[in-house]
Amino acid sequence: MMKESPSACISIKEGTHVAKTVLMPGDPLRAKYIAEHYLENPVLFNDVRNMYGYTGLYEGKEVSVMGSGMGIPSLGLYVHELYNFFGVDRVIRVGSAGGLSEDVHVRDVVIAMSASTNSSYVTSYDFRGYPAPTADYGMLANAVAAAKEMGVSTKVGSVYTDDYFYHPDKDANLKAKNLGLLAVEMETAGLYLQAMANHKKALSILTISDHCFTGESLSAEDRQNSFHEMMEIALKTAISD
């Protein structure tokens, strides 16, 4: 059975709920993986449109994990509802990104301080100018501390959230690189804008799975190991905030 919900996209199953902090990978199957491999007693709270959401315990503290889909429109929909309809206070994106900077290499974990974007999503807030999508500093500091404790190499800085996976401007990534942006992905700016608009908290933690200029890319085995590090940083951040 489902509880009555103001949302058409999230229907909380009877007897379940969403934790105050939600980890959010793009792929709902990755959400399922995180729940099954890292959480104690994970319970499925949502499976509408196969966008799996689970709540369980990590080191004795309650955490949820749910997929977001690809791109700002999909993530923005789910995050808005989590913040406004289901009492969520913090969302941590865990995803992959393409490296832009020469200082970033495959397997590096990037913690996004802010996110530039080409998305028109920023214009919907009726702000006189362009808002600067920015992480919650407390969560960012906790993530950096968790990574240091784990001995994981991280880069902290600005990333580029692109509406295009295949951009018609072949020089788009070069222009982003020349502005000092570390990596390119498709969701972080939307997450940070939603958090800012709803007076909530958000952080994006990314693993570099390939590099846009060097041609480096991870094997399936290496990708699994690197994502493991990112997931643990995110979970430690979730319970330390």
Tell me the catalytic residues: 210
Contacts (Cβ under 8 Å, ≥6 apart) of 176: 100, 116, 160, 162, 184
Per DSSP, what are the bridge partners of residue 57?
40, 62
Classify the C-alpha dihedral 238-159-193-18 as positive or negative.
Answer: negative
Collapsed DSSP state (helix, strand, coil) of residue 92: strand
Classify the C-alpha dihedral 74-45-109-140 as positive or negative.
Answer: positive
User: What is the distance between the alpha carbons of residues 6 and 105, in angstroms, rounded to a whole number?
Assistant: 43
User: What is the distance between the alpha carbons of residues 82 and 69, in angstroms, rounded to a whole number?
Assistant: 14
The helix (run of H) or strand (run of E) holding residue 241 is: none
Contacts (Cβ under 8 Å, ≥6 apart) of 156: 110, 111, 113, 140, 144
User: What is the distance between the alpha carbons of residues 112 and 45, in angstroms, rounded to a whole number?
Assistant: 28
C-alpha closest to that of 58 among 32, 43, 44, 38: 38
Tokens of 229: 């590090």
